[in-house]
A and B are shown apart, each in its own frame.
Chain A
Amino acid sequence: MPLDSIPRAGQANSVAGHLLQTPPTVAPTDNNYQVMDLFSQDTLLANIPVVEQGRAVGIINRNTFMSTIARPFHREIFGRKSCTAFMNASPLIVDYLTPITELSFLALGAGEKVLSDGFIINVDNSYAGMGQGVSLMQALADQQAEKHRQMMESINYASVIQQSFLQSSRRDMAAALEDYFMVWSPRDIVGGDYYYFVKRDDGFFVAVIDCTGHGVPGAFMTLIMASTLKQVLTTHDLRNPAELLCAINRQVKQSLGQLTPEEAGIDDHPELNSDDGMDGAFCWFDKASRTLTYASAKTPLFVLPPEGEEVHTLEGNKKGVGYVGTPLDYEWKNHAVKLAAGSRLYISTDGIIDQIGGPKRICFGKKHLKEQILKHGHKRMEQQQKHIIDAFLRWQGDNSRRDDVSLFGVCLD
């Protein structure tokens, strides 16, 4: 391979040769006065390779050399002796085509000397030049930055795909609701939270979902759940949220093979199987009767009645959907509540409630969320969103975000 066709340092597949420098060299027949001259002529010269008949036999490091020769009488005793006296006689020697990653492990194995003395680069087993420790660190940092950039680019694009899945819900929400907000804020650009909204003439359906995990695996789960939900909606009525949860549970357990050995009817190796699913709240609001029918898997709903002085928590079932530990025929229950005009409804995934923060570094909790809802509940939903999220971020403070955050709020007119 011609050397100039090799990728540059910093790229994923860069090699030792990209760090090649060709400082002046000396031979074992040269003496220490000559080495001193070279170091004094070029104050930036850090290391001088000692080369004998096309092979490197050592590296003379400026600091080691200068501090040794400066000792009493050393100049007089060693000045005319061979320059091999103060060289590192066992430098790291690598081939031009050694990948940077491999080089970094070789350098670590060779000890800290490599950082100060650098390393010899050979082409076809002959001396070609040398690389400096600091260049190796730079190349590793560049490589890291490049890998990070590529990964972030890929995740950013994945986010575009994930958000496109939310588009029809966003559109329907805007068309059906007059005063509402929807916060969808994945911890890592993409995430495991998901929401689904459908507008009908007689009401609307909303689901706020928290799939297992976050980041890329969480996002995969949202796509599985989104398509399962769509499929289930072709055969089930969205006015019956509990039945939808049951149907999704059956389908996810079967399609991901998340059955108990008894359910599967075989002697399976359970440790090899996945155990992923979702928590979430599914709601149907019937306009004419002003009735909210909801079913929930470990996801609370909060209601603030008009002129209310207390935020009510509507709890659902304690089982998640699709998991191995949830029976195939598990039945979620529908609950119905009448919501007078001006009632506010909120649905949150556990990302807000479980966030660590505050003076004691404890969970935000339902308590603080309800406090914020009560404090700002009379305002327009858009303003409430700002106040609640600000309070949440103040609580989080310097603590890292633990999970994806989703919060839906609506004032039912």
Chain B
Amino acid sequence: MQNLYIAATSSTPEVDFRFDSHQLSLRGESYPENAHAFFGPIMDAVQAYLPKLHATTVTLDIQLAYFNSSSTKVLLELFGLFNKAAVAGNYVHLNWHYIEDDETILEFGEEVADDYTALDFHPCAMVG
């Protein structure tokens, strides 16, 4: 299936989903006025991608400095989908990038790890 690339704006992250190599990344900030409008096509692509996987290793690189509450909900849905895929026998590696000292972002990542235990969670501190 087609890879998905969306360039970053000041209020939306860079989306770089390389489905062919199973490397997916989100980088930047996310506070669009309408998170569902922004993430809708992304979720659709992921929903089309996941059922095709069989014992595949997928790497998710998430590097988000800020996301508003509606983006948070969509992100949790997204992690939920990957968690399901992991339960179904795939291996999902979640690299959670945060700037050293940014406890708020780290805490959110840890909550994701607590809620979606099938994801292999790796906090990655970046020296800012």
Contact = CB atoms under 8 A, between A and B. Distances in A.
- Note whether A and B form a binding pair: yes
Interface of A: 210, 212-215, 271, 275, 279, 318, 320, 323, 325, 350, 353-354, 356, 359-367, 400, 402-403
30 contacts: A210-B69, A213-B69, A213-B70, A214-B68, A215-B33, A271-B36, A320-B69, A323-B73, A325-B76, A350-B69, A353-B104, A354-B66, A354-B104, A356-B29, A356-B65, A359-B128, A360-B100, A360-B128, A361-B65, A361-B99, A361-B128, A362-B102, A363-B66, A364-B104, A365-B103, A365-B104, A366-B103, A367-B103, A400-B10, A403-B68
A353 B73 CA distance: 18
The 10 A-B pairs at the shortest CB distance, nearest first, are namely: A360-B128, A363-B104, A362-B102, A365-B104, A362-B99, A356-B66, A365-B103, A360-B99, A363-B102, A212-B69
A187 to B, nearest CB: 10
B31 A402 contact: yes
Contacts of B33: 215
Contacts of B104: 353-354, 362-366
B20 interface: no
A403 B111 CA distance: 21
A365 B31 CA distance: 18
A201 to B, nearest CB: 37
Contacts of A215: 33
A320 B76 CA distance: 13
B105 interface: yes
Contacts of A275: 73
Given A325-B73, A356-B29, A362 B111 contact: no
B interface, size bucket: 20 to 34
A125 to B, nearest CB: 44
Given A362-B128, A402-B68, A403-B31, 20 more contacts: A212-B70, A215-B33, A275-B73, A279-B69, A318-B111, A320-B69, A325-B73, A354-B66, A359-B128, A360-B100, A361-B65, A361-B128, A362-B99, A362-B104, A363-B65, A363-B104, A364-B104, A365-B102, A366-B103, A366-B104
Nearest to B40: A271
A350 B71 CA distance: 14
A213 B102 CA distance: 23
A400 B9 CA distance: 14
Contacts of B40: 271
Nearest to A192: B69
A348 to B, nearest CB: 12
A350 B69 CA distance: 9
A343 to B, nearest CB: 25
Contacts of B31: 402-403
Contacts of A318: 111
A359 B100 CA distance: 12
A366 B105 CA distance: 11
A320 B68 CA distance: 14
Nearest to A403: B68
A402 B66 contact: yes
Nearest to B69: A212
Given A318-B111, A325-B76, A402-B31, A360 B70 contact: no
Contacts of A365: 102-104
Contacts of A403: 31, 68
A360 B126 CA distance: 11
